[in-house]
Amino acid sequence: MDLLAGIAAILTAIAWPTAVIVTVVLLRRPLRELLTSLRALKVNDLVEASFGADVAALQQAAGPDAPQPANDELLRLARISPRAAVLEAWIRLEFAARAALKRRGANLTADELRAPIRLAGALGEHGLLPPRRLAVFDELRHLRNAATHAERFRLEPESAAGYAALAQGLADTLEAA
């Protein structure tokens, strides 16, 4: 009886871990596909980005003057490397913001021009972007930070293309200012 009770205790202890391991092994391909298409990412409870939902919300927030689709170069890049497309779109937006501030005669140091949060503040102070567009700029900055700093960041090409379109729309606004 003691031998049977011992075997039963061992089987009870390993039943759930064994079931989980078998399930993961059997479903590893579908799980991998599901994980690569995640629209949300959380790293160490510090960085959280849900690009798909955030980009869609930003496009709605842009309202009736929503930007046209991103240019062909950024769309191709979004298909090949969504993360690179986000970074390239941000670089172009940042360049347009700096150029607009220089045209307005903003007296900013090189360090201030390199800090995106200070850049956003200067755009607002000099009236280059209305508050609604400034909020979009700030959200794009947050999403860019997530794409830049999250180690295992994955993004759908469509979300990257939407981000690029928003960034390009803001860059166009700044170039016209």
Q: 176, exposed or middle or buried, with CB in 10 Å at 0-12, 13-18, 19+?
A: exposed
Among the residue ranges 68-72, 100-104, 158-162, the one predicted with the least confidence is: 68-72
DSSP 22-73: HHHHHTHHHHHHHHHT-SEEEETTTEEEEHHHHHHHHHHHTGGGPPPPPPHH
pLDDT recorded at residue 153: 73
87 — pLDDT class (breaks 50, 70, 90): very high
pLDDT at position 148 over 80: yes
Q: Determine the Cα–Cα distance for residues 86 and 139; give it in Å rounded to an integer.
A: 13
pLDDT at position 2 over 60: yes
Q: Determine the Cα–Cα distance for residues 134 and 143; give it in Å rounded to an integer.
A: 14
159 — pLDDT class (breaks 50, 70, 90): confident
CA 118 distance to own-chain centroid: 20
User: Where exactly are the structural domains of the chain?
Assistant: 1-36, 39-176
Q: Determine the Cα–Cα distance for residues 39 and 155; give it in Å rounded to an integer.
A: 7
pLDDT recorded at residue 46: 39
- pLDDT per position as a tens digit, 115-147: 888 888 999 999 998 888 888 898 889 888 888
Mean pLDDT of 151-157: 78
Question: Which tokens is 86 given?
Answer: 């986000």
Q: Determine the Cα–Cα distance for residues 121 and 140; give it in Å rounded to an integer.
A: 14
- What's the mean pLDDT when you consider all of the chain? 78
pLDDT at position 93 over 60: yes
Q: Are 115 and 137 in contact (CB under 8 A)?
A: no
- pLDDT per position as a tens digit, 5-30: 888 888 788 888 787 777 767 777 76
Q: 154, exposed or middle or buried, with CB in 10 Å at 0-12, 13-18, 19+?
A: middle
pLDDT at position 100 over 90: yes
Closest CA to 62 of 15, 110, 148, 130: 130
The helix/strand/coil state of 55 is helix
pLDDT recorded at residue 7: 84
pLDDT recorded at residue 128: 92
91 — pLDDT class (breaks 50, 70, 90): very high
